[in-house]
Amino acid sequence: MDKGNQTSVSEFFLLGFSQRPEQQLIFFGLFLGMYLVTLVGNSTIILAIIFDSHLHIPMYFFVANLSFVDMSFPSTTVPKMLADTKLGNKKISYGGCLTQLYFFGLLADLDNFLLAVMAYDRYMAITCPLYYATVMSPQHCVLMVAGSWVVTAIHALLHILLLDWLAFCGPNTIPHFYCDLIPLLKLACSDTHINELMLFLVSGTLLVGPFLCILVSYIYILLAILKIHSPQGKHKVFSNCTSHLSMVSLFYGSAIGAYLCPLSISSTEKERAFAVMYMVVTPMLNPFIYSLRNKDMKRAIRNLRKKGTLLFWELTVTLRTQTSQYGKQ
């Protein structure tokens, strides 16, 4: 690999979903609706946790962080795609493509790490309740989240630095609606063996590691549940894990479809569909999974709605009072 960046391509062309104007309008409305639901749903979860003191425990601290990531994750790609669809400009600069890829990789890895941390939290709560308060102290929780941020940020940066050394001198069309690493490597003119090795070794480790943590945690949780004699006790313990299990299934199911689908059945259309599931649909559904399956979260959201309604009416009365006073003057 030649030293230094020898890029001659200054921009890339994102194909998106469809070139037909009538279909582009449908996709614009669909993705705009899903994106707004994602922002509103996850911000509601965060605010409910912040304003409800009963939810100031490790599990909901991780849920709030996951909701923040789920808001940010589609924000790396969907606004650009919506602007491209509306304006008809599907070009993205070389620097913009690398920036989008960096934050996409960072937040995707972080989602994976947070799911593993949440599985460990459930493992400690169910199998080691006597040590839970010590192990999952506020300081340790902050360290786990901060450590996840540091590791994923470094990992994403390594990919960008290696990619920036490649030369792009040929085709510049990416058959996707965002800049992804594998399509970019296919467009490179120079040797990509180091990039592929990095992708296989480091990315594979960071993907498999959290997954194994989740798997082992739930094996121990299952063994602990089997030791409970009461059916009601088993149901109560298992119900504490159903929301997280649903999120894990949705995340890994869509991720496997997007990146590990066999070549014999993969196609551009299927890759795009799985990417939408992975990047847009999953972050949109996570707030509903937690709010519909969790009584504490339902109560917190109801209280938040009451506080919001009360604040709205107080502001309305204040504005009317001030308006009437100005009118009299």
Residue 9 reports pLDDT greater than 80: no
Structure tokens at 199: 């992708």
Q: Residues 39-76, buried b or exposed e (16+ Cβ, 10 A)?
A: bebbebbbbbbeebeebebbbbbbbbbbbbbbbbbbbb
pLDDT tens readout for residues 152-184? 999 999 999 999 888 888 778 888 888 888 888
Instruction: List phi, psi (to 5°) of 171.
Output: -60, 150
Q: Which helix (H) or strand (E) holds 74?
A: helix 58-75
pLDDT reported for residue 256: 73
Distance, in Å, from the CA atom of 205 to the CA atom of 199, rounded to the nearest integer, reads 9
Closest CA to 186 of 201, 174, 198: 174
Angle, CA of 96, 17 and 249, to the nearest 5°: 85
The pLDDT, as a whole number, for residue 98 is 93
> Under DSSP, is residue 1 helix (H, G, I), strand (E, B) or coil?
coil
pLDDT in tens, 188-242: 888 888 888 888 887 778 888 899 999 999 999 999 988 888 888 888 888 878 8
Range among 4-8, 240-244, 325-329 rated most confident? 240-244
CA atoms of 200 and 125, how far apart (whole Å): 34
**For residue 265, what pLDDT is reported?**
46
Dihedral pair phi/psi, residue 254, rounded to 5°: -70, -35
* pLDDT tens profile 286-320: 888 877 777 888 888 888 888 888 777 877 777 77
Q: Which of 126-140, 185-199, 252-266 has the lowest mean pLDDT?
A: 252-266
pTM of the predicted protein model: 0.86
Q: What pLDDT, on a 0 to 100 scale, did the predictor assign at position 2?
A: 47
Distance between CA atoms of residues 285 and 70, nearest Å: 10
